Chains A and B, each alone.
Chain A
Amino acid sequence: MSTPGERVLIKGNEAICRGAVDAGCQCFFGYPITPQNDIPEYMSKVMPNLGRVFVQAESEVAAANMLLGAAACGVRAMTSSSSPGISLKQEAISYMGGTELPAVIVNISRGGPGLGDIGPSQGDYYQAVKGGGHGDYRQLVLAPGTVQEAYDLIGKAFDLAFTYRNPVMLLGDAIIGQMMEPVTLGNPKDTGNKSPDLGWNLTGKGQRDPRLLKSLHLTDGALAGHNLHLRDKYASMEKDVLFENFLVDDAELIVVAFGSIGRIAKSTIRKLRASGKKVGLHRPITLFPFPSRELDKLAAVGKRFLTIEHNLGQMVDDVRLAVRKHADSDFYGHMPGNLPTPEDFEQPILAALGVNS
Chain B
Amino acid sequence: MKNGKAAFTLPGVLADVPTHYCPGCQHGVAQRLVAECLDELALSEKAICIGSIGCSVFIYNYLKVDCVEAPHGRAPAVATGVKRARPEAAVFTYQGDGDLASIGMAETMHCANRGERVTIIFVNNTVYGMTGGQMAPTTMVGQRTTTCPGGRCADNEGEPIKMTEIIASLGGTAYAARVAVDSVKNVRAAKKAVRKAFEAPQNNLGLGFVEILATCPTNWKMTPVQANKRIAEELIPYFPLGTYKDLMWEQTAEGTEVEG
Contacts and interface: CB of A to CB of B under 8 A. Distances in A.
A204 B70 CA distance: 17
Nearest to A95: B71
| Interface hub of A53, A58, A59 (most chain B Cβ within 10 A) | A58
Interface in B16-55: 44-48, 50-51
Interface string A63-79: 10111111111010100
Given A65-B71, A68-B70, A212 B60 contact: yes
A205 B65 contact: yes
A27 interface: yes
Given A202-B66, A211-B66, A212-B60, A62 B77 contact: yes
Interface residues of B, number: 36
Given A57-B77, A69-B50, A206-B45, A77 B107 contact: no
| Interface hub of B65, B74, B88 (most chain A Cβ within 10 A) | B74
A356 interface: no
A94 B49 CA distance: 20
Nearest to B57: A216
Contact of A69 (B47, B65, B85): B85
Contact of A215 (B69, B79, B82, B114): B69
Interface residues of A, number: 42
Contacts of A195: 86, 88
Nearest to B61: A212
Contact of B68 (A53, A69, A75): A69
A28 to B, nearest CB: 10
A328 interface: no
A177 to B, nearest CB: 25
A73 B107 contact: no
Given A62-B106, A69-B50, A29 B86 contact: no
A214 B69 contact: yes
Contacts of A206: 45-46
B200 interface: no
Given A213-B69, A214-B68, A216-B57, A73 B74 contact: no
6 contacts: A61-B77, A68-B78, A72-B81, A99-B68, A202-B86, A203-B89
What 4 pairs between A and B have smallest CB-CB spacing?
Answer: A69-B81, A66-B81, A65-B77, A204-B46
